[in-house]
Amino acid sequence: MIETKNINFYYGDFHALKDISMEMQAHTVTALIGPSGCGKSTFLRLFNRMNDLIDGTRLTGECLIEGENIYHKSVQVDELRKKVGMVFQKPNPFPKSIFENVAYGLRVNHIGDKSYITQRVEESLRDAALWDEVKDKLKKSAFELSGGQQQRLCIARALAISPSILLMDEPASALDPISTSKIEELIHSLKKDYTIVIVTHNMQQAARVSDKTGFFMLGELIEYNDTKKMFLNPEKEQTQNYITGRFG
Ligand SMILES: Nc1ncnc2c1ncn2[C@@H]1O[C@H](COP(=O)(O)OP(=O)(O)OP(=O)(O)O)[C@@H](O)[C@H]1O
Ligand SMILES: [Mg+2]
């Protein structure tokens, strides 16, 4: 589903990603872990070309989604972003109603069919495990929701346009334990329909939600392995030190 081949990424002179080659299968959850500043978010942002928005950056190597190089000149970034949805660390609902937050992506994609929009909003909210909590107040402002609900709303917003890949950058780090476990359950249930890549600082979370884990350090992919293997019996000493908290 996703494949990077010898990716190098630079912010000006700073070499942020060093020769990263990695494959992610469809319908799996891949966790990206590693110390702050190691390049996890930079790597994640490659897949929907969010790094394009930053001046002075440079990329070499290839990034393929479903076999297509997404940095090829012929690729339309809008189309790519329909296929690759993203959820950020801090819930960022729009200053609109709950309903309109979820409908937003459909409207900007010129979908006008009212009954389809209504149906898709409900489906997305159900998929994001939020429907029961909001079904009676769809016209209320999204800001009236709790942080955990806002984050699930942002997930529903991402799902509404039916992406095949969902990128999540520390989606639960600003949430309380109950909301966090809801998001984790949600990730688990979304896996059947989506390919998910999640950045997390929480080792237990990575171990709970992911099939595969990539450990980054200083822009290098140190180890990429089955999550079980990674946390029980990693191949690299650096990984062992990091996951046991002996990293220094
Ligand atoms: N817009 C930018 N301009 C210049 N350098 C940047 C920019 N964004 C990130 N960097 C640098 O690239 C490196 C990787 O940053 P990145 O945000 O990918 O790390 P991260 O692993 O996501 O860290 P964290 O866990 O703190 O979120 C860091 O050294 C950072 O300072
Ligand atoms: Mg980050």
Nearest CA to ligand 1 atom 7: 11
Q: Is 49 helix (H, G, I), strand (E, B) or coil?
A: coil
Q: Measure 37 CA to ligand 1 centroid, in angstroms.
A: 5
Question: What's the mean pLDDT in 138-157?
Answer: 95
Given the candidates 3.40.50.300, 2.40.420.20, 1.10.10.60, 3.90.1640.10, the CATH classification of the domain at 2-243 is 3.40.50.300
The residues spanned by each domain of the chain are: 2-243
Residue 169 pLDDT exceeds 50: yes
pTM over 0.85: yes
Q: Is 61 helix (H, G, I), strand (E, B) or coil?
A: strand
Structure tokens at 69: 């190089």
DSSP string across 70-126: TTSTT--HHHHHHHEEEE-SS----SSBHHHHHHHHHHHTT---HHHHHHHHHHHHH
Q: Is 25 helix (H, G, I), strand (E, B) or coil?
A: coil
The pLDDT of residue 245: 82
Question: What's the mean pLDDT in 136-150?
Answer: 95
Could you tell me the pLDDT band of residue 246, with boundaries at 50, 70 and 90? Answer: confident
pLDDT digits (tens, 9 = 90+) for 5-24: 999 999 999 999 999 999 99
Residue 20 Cβ contacting ligand 1 at under 6 Å: no
Residue 11 Cβ contacting ligand 1 at under 6 Å: yes
Residue 200 Cβ contacting ligand 1 at under 6 Å: no
